[in-house]
Amino acid sequence: KNALGQTTPAFGTAYFENLISVKSNEAEFDPEPLVDNLKLTVATIIVSERTYYLTKDLNDNKRPSAGDEVRYNIKYFNPSSFNFENARIIINYEQTFIHITGVNSGGVDNGDSIVWDLGTVTIGQPSYENPACLGFSFIVLSNPGTPIFNTFTAMSGARILETNNDSLSVQ
């Protein structure tokens, strides 16, 4: 099941040289070129793709239900022309409805959130063609019809790059 959410991108500022020519029908001089810096605001985000998938389906119904094991998989890449210093991915999860069975790629679980310290995510790395992958596995504890929610946040320093509220429907 693909995770659904709402993205709040962070923005950065970049300056580009903008060549402007000024002409006047009233003036008696040749066109005069002016060089002016053009300020553009561009999105600066680490792009993520998050999915849930069953790894152990006890009742073989191909849907998450109590007792099943699920993996929450996160793939990310940096398509921007910016380095992200002190980058982190944080998952806040509902500990009442899941039991964490494993966290990979150096993530640390403190009982209600999992944090991956990524260090510096450099320009174009990881790439779109070969995204980095991390995640965690859990046993479903919730009752049928009770969705499992978690909040995904990607940060650089104290800046939020992306945040999403993801949910998994339980049968």
| pLDDT above 80 for 16 | no
What pTM value is reported for the model?
0.75
Q: How far apart are CA 163 and CA 155, in angstroms?
A: 9
Dihedral sign of CA atoms 35, 36, 37, 41 in order: negative
pLDDT tens per residue across span 129-164: 999 999 999 999 988 999 999 999 999 999 988 899
CA terminus-to-terminus distance, the chain: 13
| Residue range 83-105, pLDDT digits in tens | 999 999 999 999 999 999 999 99
Q: What residues contact 110, with CB distance under 8 A and at least 6 apart?
A: none
Can you tell me the mean pLDDT for 20-27? 59
Residues 119-131, mean pLDDT to the nearest whole number = 93
Query: The tokens of 85 are what?
Result: 């210093």
Phi, psi of 138 (to 5 degrees): -155, 155
Q: Give buried/exposed letters for 89-121 (b at 16+ CB in 10 A, else e).
A: bbbebbeebbebeebeeebeeeeebbbbebeeb
Question: Alpha-carbon torsion 160, 131, 42, 83, what sign?
Answer: positive
Mean pLDDT, to the nearest integer, of 37-62? Answer: 80
